[in-house]
Chains A and B, each alone.
Chain A
Amino acid sequence: MAKARTRDRVARTVLHVVLGLGLLAMVGPFLWMLLSSFKSEGEIREVPPTWWPRDFGLTNYTELFDRLAFPTYFTNSVVVAGSVTLGNLVLCSAAGYALAKLRFPGRGALLGLVLGTVMVPGMVTFVPLFVLVSKLGLTNTFAGLILPFVVGAFGVFFMRQFILSIPDELIESARIDGAGEVRIFWRIILPLCRPALATLGILTFLGSWNNFLWPLVIATTEDKYTLPVALALYSVGQNETDYGLLLAGSVVVVVPVLIVFVLLQRHFVRGIATTGLK
């Protein structure tokens, strides 16, 4: 008995040490990024590298604002990701509701079409989309950045799966009480969908915030750059020497997302897990 308990304690300790080392490897790069963004250019290049900055300086951050238009990139990212998220939430939940609960001609075909495109890689639509957006004159506009992502196959499928689990009787009894379809959707379905909407909202926002390839080709002048585009172009450009600026830029891209994630991680993890099990 005592022996078993000792063995348990040893196993527990070993497990915690291993998982803790792993955690350090996962979080370490972020800590290093955050700490180094406060270092001077000279200290970043020091051999061996330091962990804790010798003196905290905000130079890298003020440079982001003075020399680069980071507030503009930040605003652009918020506008684009916010619009894409709002569009997905409204349009995908409406379509998901109809595909789950309403009978109408063409429903099966539409569902098949949506599911058929889930596996299509982004590169397939890339060239025609670019041609389309240029023909519409939307290159280097917010519309050009937002419209191609304002609905998605995943969003509809996800909302449909969730709405399928809402009992039909709720909808039927509302209909008998004389509620119209829009009212049913707005007053009954959407409030019940809150957890699914939270998950879809977070996933869509993150996807759009981190999206890179499309804004890279559509945003052609600085005033339309999103954060990842600005960071990537700056990092592969000639200015490679300015390490501190790059790290501070990375912090600006990553930290808002990390805060949102840590605050909402419950929704997140549950949402990922349920999509995984379906």
Chain B
Amino acid sequence: MTARPQDAALRRGRRGARLRRAVVGWGFVSPFTLLFAVFMAGPVLVSLAMSFTDLRSADVRDPLGVNFVGLDQYAKVFGDPLFLKASGNTAFFVLFGVPLTMTAGLAVALGLSSGLTRFRTLFRVGYYLPVVTSIVAVSVVWRFLLQPETGLVNSLLALVGVDGPNWLADPDLSLPSLVVMATWRNLGFQMVVFLAGLQAIPQNLYEAARLDGAGAWQQFRHVTLPMLRPTMLFVAVITSIGYLQFFEEAYVMTQGGPLNSTLSVSYHIYKQFGFGNYSYASAMSYVLFVAIVALSLLWFRLLKRKEQ
């Protein structure tokens, strides 16, 4: 084929258009990309690299003293009794917290969408309130409510003749107390997402079920629950990611105590960072990251819409 001058011009034009598109596109994304690379993507990689070294805070000024130590930090992580304790606590928090919060959120959503309730906005706003408030402030208030002598919770229990325990000072009760508080604080989010999910279920499915003689429970079991699968997956993943990282509640309410009964993985990482063990903290944070990905994948497997 012989090249005609028009072709060359066209090619030049096309190349010009591509260049122009590249300039315009990167013009829009470059401020974001630059900041994102420096403050997010970069640190993610640096953290990984750090976890294979023996970097401590003192080495930051003089990086020559840093050695590559392979998987030593990770070996240390799994031999660290405090990390194992913190993992157990975090697992407990997730194992009980996630189902409790989801059940409570779904129950409220079902109540509000049953068509029987008035003041729906009032209820929705009220249940959502704790979600928007600072965990620190909420933890301060709950520390008062849970006080053994003067706390509101034990005073209410005293009204019905129960001698309330010292919730936060008892190593057996401290973590469950934090789980209940987390449920209280987060169920509003679950409620809102479930409400949206419930609204998306076509009404005629319920009509059909009623025609087949299904009662309220059967409708819930065979229409609502299956139709809510995608919503549940979303809620389960988001809640698990959040709960696996719990930190502020323990920091403000119990400082990880008593006897490390509320020490979470994030709290342990924060403490090791405070001691200057930078690469050890990074290694633990990657273990936490892997746990988050693994749990999310598990939820996907459990709750994915069953295709055929």
A99 to B151, CA, bound (A): 53
Closest residue of chain B to A99 (Cβ to Cβ) is B29
Closest residue of chain A to B284 (Cβ to Cβ) is A123
Q: Which one of B25, B130, B241 lies within 8 Å of A26 (CB-CB)? A: B130
Q: How far is the CB of A139 from chain B (nearest CB, A)?
A: 12
- Say whether chain A's binding surface is mostly helix, strand, loop, or mixed: helix
Residues of chain A lying within 8 A (CB to CB) of residue B293: 119
A247 to B145, CA, bound (A): 12
Residues of chain B lying within 8 A (CB to CB) of residue A185: 28
A36 to B151, CA, bound (A): 12
Q: How far is the CB of A77 from chain B (nearest CB, A)?
A: 10
A151 to B32, CA, bound (A): 6
- Size of the A side of the interface (Cβ < 8 Å), in residues, is 97
Contact status A250-B140, CB under 8 Å: yes
Contact status A258-B281, CB under 8 Å: no
Q: Which one of B39, B140, B286 lies within 8 Å of A231 (CB-CB)? A: B140
Greatest chain B CB density within 10 A among A99, A228, A262 is at A228
Residues of chain A lying within 8 A (CB to CB) of residue B177: none
B-contact 0/1 string along A83-126, CB 8 Å cutoff: 00000000110110111001111110010011001011111111
Closest residue of chain A to B116 (Cβ to Cβ) is A12
Residues of chain B lying within 8 A (CB to CB) of residue A30: 129, 133, 141
Residues of chain B lying within 8 A (CB to CB) of residue A250: 137, 140-141
Among residues 235 to 278 in chain A, which have CB atoms less than 8 Å away from a CB atom of chain B? 235-236, 243, 246-247, 249-250, 253-254, 257-258, 261-262, 265, 268-269, 272-274, 276-277
Q: How far is the CB of B41 from chain A (nearest CB, A)?
A: 6
If A12-B116, A26-B129, A97-B28 are given as contacts, then 18 extra A-B residue pairs at C-beta distance below 8 Å, sorted by A number, are A12-B117, A19-B112, A26-B130, A32-B141, A49-B151, A91-B35, A92-B32, A95-B29, A95-B31, A105-B25, A117-B41, A119-B292, A120-B44, A123-B284, A125-B47, A126-B269, A127-B50, A181-B28
Q: Taking the complex as formed, is A1 at the interface, i.e. its CB lies under 8 A from any CB of chain B?
A: no
Contact status A243-B235, CB under 8 Å: no
A54 to B42, CA, bound (A): 57
A-contact 0/1 string along B187-201, CB 8 Å cutoff: 011001101110010
A189 to B24, CA, bound (A): 15
Residues of chain A lying within 8 A (CB to CB) of residue B300: none
Selecting from A62-70, A130-138, A191-199, the interface stretch reads A130-138
A126 to B193, CA, bound (A): 30
Contact status B288-A277, CB under 8 Å: no
Greatest chain A CB density within 10 A among B152, B241, B247, B255 is at B152
Q: Which one of A113, A235, A262 lies within 8 Å of B125 (CB-CB)? A: A262
Q: Taking the complex as formed, is B252 at the interface, i.e. its CB lies under 8 A from any CB of chain A?
A: yes
Contact status A120-B289, CB under 8 Å: yes
Contact status A276-B22, CB under 8 Å: no
Q: Taking the complex as formed, is A206 at the interface, i.e. its CB lies under 8 A from any CB of chain B?
A: yes
Contact status A254-B278, CB under 8 Å: no
Closest residue of chain A to B286 (Cβ to Cβ) is A124
Q: A15-B114, A23-B126, A128-B50 are in contact. Are A254 and B43 (CB under 8 A)?
A: no
Q: How far is the CB of A59 from chain B (nearest CB, A)?
A: 18
Greatest chain B CB density within 10 A among A123, A131, A210 is at A123
A134 to B57, CA, bound (A): 11
Contact status B289-A25, CB under 8 Å: no
Contact status A210-B134, CB under 8 Å: yes
Contact status A49-B132, CB under 8 Å: no
Contact status A91-B285, CB under 8 Å: no
Q: How far is the CB of B28 from chain A (nearest CB, A)?
A: 4
Q: How far is the CB of B265 from chain A (nearest CB, A)?
A: 8
Q: Which one of B33, B142, B255, B266 lies within 8 Å of A29 (CB-CB)? A: B142
The 10 A-B pairs of least Cβ separation, nearest first, read A104-B25, A273-B196, A98-B28, A95-B32, A125-B43, A276-B193, A128-B43, A128-B46, A250-B137, A123-B285
Q: How far is the CB of A134 from chain B (nearest CB, A)?
A: 7
A105 to B18, CA, bound (A): 9
